Amino acid sequence: MDVATGEIIPLVAAIIGLGVGAQLLAARFQVPSIIFLISAGLLLGPFSGFIFGTRLLSAATFGAEALPAIVGLSVAIIVFEGAFHLRIDRIKEAPSATLRLVTVGAAIALLGTAATIKFALGQPWDLSFLIGALLVATGPTVVTPILQVVPVRDRVAAALETEGIINDVSAAIIAVVIFEVVILQDRAGVAFLRDFASRLGIGLLVGLVVAVIVYYLLRYVDLSPGNAPRNARLLAFAGALVAFATADTIASEAGVAAVATAGLVLGNLDVPYEDEIEAFKGDVTLIVLSFVFIALAALLEIDDLLRLGLAGLVVVAAVIFVIRPLLVFISARGDRFTRSEKLFISFVGPRGIIPASVATLFAVEMQAHGLDQQAQLLVGTVFLVIFATVALEGGFARYIAEYLDVIPMRVIIVGGGQVGRALAERLEDRGENVVIVEEEEQTVEHARNEGYSVVWGDGTDTDILREAGAANAKTVVAATGDDDANLLIAQLSSSKFDTNRVIARANNPDNVEAFEELGVRTISSAMATAWAMDNQIERPALAHWMTDVGRKGDVQEVEVSPDGELAGRTVEEIGPKLPDTCLIALVDRDGEVEVPGPDFQIEGGDRVTLLGKREAVRDAMKMCNHE
């Protein structure tokens, strides 16, 4: 065994071990793993001198092209995995805002960052735009870990994840074109647009072709029944690498667009063994993500950061506190997002693996062309922004989310059968954040195919309930076909998680009294059916109205906030302010429910029942409580 091999084996093992440790610490302290990964890289490299002292990651050890190739393939796996999880249905949660984030928002980020670097650091426009292009990318590698510990509403998560995936692609291609066309060849204009369009087009085409081939093989070719799940995982994994390598061979950085396209297309098709593919790629991604972040952070020289001085901090402050909020509020204009959600999105814009990896590769090539000073400034600025955004935004994201009150209370439905899914459909239609817990694999797959968020496991297991978000749930519904399980779920939710409201389904009417004696709010399946039939007989118009929610009308109960438009006013005063097709039917004050008269004054904390057409009720709810 030669010296290089003898040195590199323990190094790789140490990096992977530190990466796994970072993931465990992140799970334990509910902090994004990126913080621990970068810290591990700094300890392994510039702080301890372990890597620099032995030159373990130098070209002499890996070979001149080995490290860029390793980083490139790792990025391919990471981007593919992020795109595979991105669902078109989720993007539709905020389509116009998402489109503006990746177009208008990206343009503001590019121009704003480039101008800041030009005037704060006194650099030429070409280098300023190169750094600005790299710092457009947020990316799933840094956004996803934050969203794992900050369970915001789907529309917020969808906007952030979509922005990360698309900006990773566009930023990488723009940066490469600026580097090769503007800096190395001293051309711009038509040449720049032509190179950008060709790389993007090559990536999209290759990614689409690979996705179609992989889908055909997964769907219509016998993958060996005994080993089909394993073969499906390997086929998807190989498809990601083939897409990246093919496109990148044709044009540099076109591979990022290819794997993003392949992942997005495959993730939204009905591919078999989807859960197995997701789990496998998730595990592989954690390993390569750990390796790349730790390795790149370890190769950084602290002097590159210190040379920036106060001007570097000005760039960081402008990126975090000026440019990001500006682009978010312009992109997310309208009432789809609340003000608090816009502020949270403004705060969550950490830079990740694409800027780090591409900046490192650019620096190597710039040094080869004698541009040492520019290379140092490029790496220093990019990594300073990465460290600052990851540390501040990753470390404080949960606290900011709690302060802004953007973490929605969840409704957990244990039992993904017909009753559970029907209830989930109605609740989601009303804007609730619903999670289904189910242990039958076939039922889980069915529910996920219908677009529901599902946790696979036994709802009587405390860890499974915790994974589903029981610690942040306002309501837990035990809707399985087993009364014993429903009772246990209800008791665990009340005792372990202090859930505000727990409702259990009693399949056997004889169990209702026993459930209620234990303090569990209970719905008997038999009685529920009898009530529904009685409504159809005695109150057909109301029954039709109630069962047609989502198409014609709606009934909602909402708490009036002290600063809401209705607080402190009488029903008579409120009437003209409400939408024409909405009225206040009931008011619940401290448990006392009554039909309000014209002189009844609504107070903050009251729960009012609104009855009317769907959109009118939604507008009235915002008047009661803007959140």
**Structure confidence by residue, pLDDT tens digits, 223-272:** 666 677 778 888 888 888 899 889 988 887 788 888 888 888 888 887 88
Residue-wise pLDDT for 302-346, tens only, equals: 777 778 889 989 999 999 999 999 999 999 887 578 888 899 999
Q: Under CATH, which number does the domain 7-404 receive?
A: 1.20.1530.20
pLDDT class of 7 with cuts at 50, 70, 90? low
In the predicted model, is pLDDT for residue 70 greater than 80? no
Q: Which residues contact 581 (CB under 8 A, 6 or more apart)?
A: 612, 613, 616
Q: Looking at the domain covering 410-529, what would its CATH class be?
A: alpha beta
pLDDT of residue 8: 66
Nearest to 387 by CA among 312, 282, 286, 310: 312
Q: In this structure, are residues 297 and 37 in contact, taking their beta carbons and an 8 Å threshold?
A: yes
Of residues 53, 152, 41, the one with CA closest to residue 386: 41
* pLDDT for the residue 257: 85
pLDDT in tens, 18-58: 778 877 787 677 666 777 777 777 777 666 655 544 444 44
d(CA 504, CA 520): 7
pTM of the model: 0.68
Q: What is the pLDDT of residue 315?
A: 93
Closest CA to 252 of 63, 72, 65, 78: 72
* 3-state SS class at 173: helix
What CATH number belongs to 552-624?
3.30.70.1450
Q: What is the domain partition of the chain in residue ranges?
A: 7-404, 410-529, 552-624
pLDDT digits (tens, 9 = 90+) for 556-607: 888 888 877 788 888 888 888 888 888 888 898 888 888 888 888 888 888 8
The pLDDT of residue 337 is: 81
pLDDT at residue 189, rounded to an integer:
67
Residue type, 245: A
> Which tokens is 310 given?
């106060």
Residues 6+ apart with CB under 8 A from 2: none
